[in-house]
Structure 1
Amino acid sequence: MTTNTLIDLPEMRLFAAVVTDGSFTAAADRLGTDKARVSRIVRRMEEKLGAQLLTRSTRHLSVTEVGRDYFERAMCILTAAEAAQASVAQQSREPKGLIKITAGAEFGTMVVDEWIAAFLRQSPKVTVEAEYTSRLVDIIHEGFDIAIRVGTLDDSGLSARKLGDMVFGLYAAPDYLNSAPPLSTVSDLKHHDLIMIKARGRSNWNLVNGSDTERITASPRCAVNSTISARNLAFAGLGIAQLPRFMAEPYLTEGTLQRVLPDWADAPAPVHAVFASSRYMDPKVRSFIDLILSTFKCGDCSSQRMRDQPVQIAA
């Protein structure tokens, strides 16, 4: 006899009800059917499996050793199937409720605000609470759903999804360049006024051009701890600043800034969404991340152009 081993979840569920309730009658009542149908299905299962699952008498029903083993395995399968259905249902639910987001102060103000605005327009039943700060937020203990982090991630045990790369460039105002020494190679930077970000007491650039690297350690004309300040000082014609391209590119068409040494810049910085768990992700968190991945794909952080380009936070 050929054994049909195709899994039939309704049959498994019916057999589990018989074993759990202890009789065909009780199982039939729970499942909203009749005793004869339940008995017929169990008998058909035994024929397909080629094994006796239940021992029947006029007054007693017992589970065979094979039936007990089948029952335990069937319960595992049914539990996994129910969990899969619940997971899909959770992901497909309309996002609603509060989502708490944290990000760095500058990146949050200049980029994450746009993501939040698009997300709220898309999800009318969601509210957002955002905190932008320079400190590293403990999202678990402080109750945040998601953190947007720029740079290499520490091994925190949290889940993360890479959103793209923040790409940099060197920029200066036309007024500065018109009166400054010639600038055609990276070595010429030592003759120029530089505006640098000061981190941990030091200010320098590690510029990359393909496989070539140059460390620029010249004393800057001005050292600041804010890329917005560096951009503002570059606007004022005080020197060359290294800026995220999303921050500077819009000013090229206005003529406020010019890009210099276009082949040279700091290495791209990865941008991640960090959250507690990817296995049981809240629908609103998943929806927020999906929106970022589907819309944030262009050089000036606008979500309206270049939708088919690779995801990156730069041109």
Structure 2
Amino acid sequence: MSQLRDMRIFSETVDAGSFTAAADRLGLSKQFVSKRIAALETHLGARLLVRSTRQLRVTDLGLAYYERIQHILQEVDAAEQMISNQTATPRGVLRLSAPMTFATMHLGTLIPEFMQRHPEVTVELALNDRTVDLIGEGYDMAVRIGTLADSSLIARRITDSQLVACASPAYLDRKGVPEAPEELSAHACLIYGHTQRSEWTFRVGDRTRKLAVSGPLRANNGEMLRDAAIAGLGVVVLPDFILADALADGRLVEVLDPFRPGGFTVYAVYPQHRQTSLLVRAFSDFLVERFSEAGTRRSARLEGVIA
């Protein structure tokens, strides 16, 4: 058995946190993974992992060994990828996590297009607004929105988006158009999320200001809040990719334009050990390409509506 393969098995086990999870990722049996790591420990003459019925713990020597072999494995992967990229096409399973609303509005059409380009690709898509543990839960990559926490993940910008405050014409006729963020205290606000204290951020002069808001509806789905705003239930602040069509056809009208809250970035993120994957890189390239085209169209449409 190749020592290099045993290194890979050990590295995957540390990443996954268990023999079972590592075996699932590698397509091997749990017993085989355990056996190969035991053989590696015998070869090295050192204990790398401490096994118990409840958890798997990496020893200090095991952690030092893990950190050293990452460079080796990445160099080997890069060398193999350099050769295979000359003739290879993306194939295999792409395990992808993405936020619910963003995925339903955009990835539902883009993923089939990508798969038609690359018929040997299978996609396993999980829609979830929580921040998943890519390594621990076995994902190849994820789409994430907003500020990224410090981590060892590789992040690639896909597109930018802008938060827009808006309401229906009927609601504004009934309740009046707010001229400053402070006036929202007299308005029904439709709130994303379920935190105890709800705040919206606006730009006042050269500073940002957070204001507490309240209203009749909270939800963790942007499309539902958009539709509630269209129905005249109140004011909503959502990303422009959710609101663009409703703003374009007049079902919603932007308010507080001079105080627009800040925008944010949409990223493709993936673990370092996946950065040489042809499939991950191909899908990332595809998203950048398609969102660049869509962003140009959306900006032109929005500028025409809110100019």
TM-score, normalization: structure 1? 0.63
Letter in 2 for 1:197: Y
Q: Which residue of 2 aligns with 1:105?
A: 100
Alpha-carbon distance between aligned partners in 2 of 1:173 and 1:260, rounded to the nearest angstrom: 10
Written as runs of structure 1 = structure 2, the 5 A alignment for 1:269-308 is 269-277=264-272, 280-297=275-292, 302=294, 305=297
**Residue 94 (str. 1) matches residue 89 (str. 2):** yes
Match of 1:196 among 186, 191, 194: 191
Letter in 1 for 2:128: T
Q: Which residue of 1 aligns with 2:64?
A: none
Alpha-carbon distance between aligned partners in 1 of 2:266 and 2:182, rounded to the nearest angstrom: 30
**Residue 121 (str. 1) matches residue 111 (str. 2):** no
Report how far residue 279 of structure 1 moved: 7.4
Q: Matched residue of 1:249: which SS?
A: helix
Q: Which residue of 2 aligns with 1:239?
A: 234
Q: Please say if residues 92 and 283 of structure 1, whose CA atoms lie closer than 8 Å, have aligned partners that are also in contact.
A: no
Written as runs of structure 1 = structure 2, the 5 A alignment for 1:29-48 is none
Letter in 2 for 1:169: V
Q: Please say if residues 104 and 132 of structure 1, whose CA atoms lie closer than 8 Å, have aligned partners that are also in contact.
A: yes
Alpha-carbon distance between aligned partners in 1 of 2:246 and 2:213, rounded to the nearest angstrom: 26
Letter in 2 for 1:131: A
Alpha-carbon distance between aligned partners in 2 of 1:119 and 1:137, rounded to the nearest angstrom: 23
Shift in alpha-carbon separation, 1:92–1:270, aligned structure 2, 3 A: farther
Higher helix proportion, which one?
2
Report how far residue 183 of structure 1 moved: 2.6
Q: Matched residue of 2:90: which SS?
A: coil
Q: Please say if residues 171 and 258 of structure 1, whose CA atoms lie closer than 8 Å, have aligned partners that are also in contact.
A: yes
- Max Rg structure: 1
Q: Which residue of 2 aligns with 1:48?
A: none
Q: Please say if residues 91 and 282 of structure 1, whose CA atoms lie closer than 8 Å, have aligned partners that are also in contact.
A: no
For residues 244-288 of structure 1, what are the alpha-carbon distances to aligned partners after superposition, in whole Å with 9 as ceiling and x for unaligned?
A: 101111112322111112233332222221112277521111011
Runs of 4 or more off by more than 4 Å in structure 1?
A: 80-86
Report how far residue 210 of structure 1 moved: 6.2
**Ranges in structure 2 where 5+ consecutive residues have no aligned partner:** 1-74, 301-306
The percentage of aligned residue pairs carrying the same residue is 32
For residues 33-82 of structure 1, what are the alpha-carbon distances to aligned partners after superposition, in whole Å with 9 as ceiling and x for unaligned?
A: xxxxxxxxxxxxxxxxxxxxxxxxxxxxxxxxxxxxxxxxxxxxxxx999
Q: Which residue of 2 aligns with 1:45?
A: none
For residues 209-232 of structure 1, what are the alpha-carbon distances to aligned partners after superposition, in whole Å with 9 as ceiling and x for unaligned?
A: 562323221432433332222112
Alpha-carbon distance between aligned partners in 1 of 2:158 and 2:249, rounded to the nearest angstrom: 29
Written as runs of structure 1 = structure 2, the 5 A alignment for 1:54-65 is none
Q: Which residue of 2 aligns with 1:24?
A: none
Alpha-carbon distance between aligned partners in 2 of 1:201 and 1:92, rounded to the nearest angstrom: 54
Q: Which residue of 1 aligns with 2:258?
A: 263
